[in-house]
Amino acid sequence: RKEVEQDPGPFNVPEGATVAFNCTYSNSASQSFFWYRQDCRKEPKLLMSVYSSGNEDGRFTAQLNRASQYISLLIRDSKLSDSATYLCVVYTGTASKLTFGTGTRLQVTL
């Protein structure tokens, strides 16, 4: 089993739609969680950290479910500019390791 798993997509949604991605992780000792965004042929950039109580940043909401070992990212009112690959990232302190998922590709269309 991969340490961090994501549905590769692509998720094709119309502008204005709400879309959600999930990511599962295998190490229950994982401590920190992040979503990064990567545009085509560009470098990954931090989108948001994921906190235990869940957190929101504008149209983006991140949730953590430790019991089921998954994190989610919800995007409301999708924009064309949201089209990108979203990488789930997990930090495991005991292994001192940051592990990236392979990403979920989102395509927002008119």
Partner 1 sequence: DAGVIQSPRHEVTEMGQEVTLRCKPISGHDYLFWYRQTMMRGLELLIYFNNNVPIDDSGMPEDRFSAKMPNASFSTLKIQPSEPRDSAVYFCASSLNWKTKETQYFGPGTRLLVL
Q: Which residues bind partner 1 (CB under 8 A)?
A: 32, 34, 42-46, 49, 87, 91, 93, 96-103
The nearest distance, CB 65 to partner 1, in angstroms, is: 19
The least distance separating partner 1 from the CB of residue 101, rounded to whole angstroms, comes to: 7
Distance of alpha carbon 26 from alpha carbon 11, whole angstroms: 24
Biggest CA-to-CA distance, the chain: 45
Nearer to partner 1, 7 or 76 (CB): 7
User: Pick from 12, 30, 31, 11: which is nearest to 21 by CA?
Assistant: 11
What residues contact 2, with CB distance under 8 A and at least 6 apart?
26, 101
Q: Are strands 84-92 and 104-109 parallel, antiparallel or unpaired?
A: antiparallel
CB of 41 to partner 1, least distance (A): 8
Residue 68 or 96 with smaller CB distance to partner 1: 96
Closest CB to partner 1 among residues 78, 103: 103
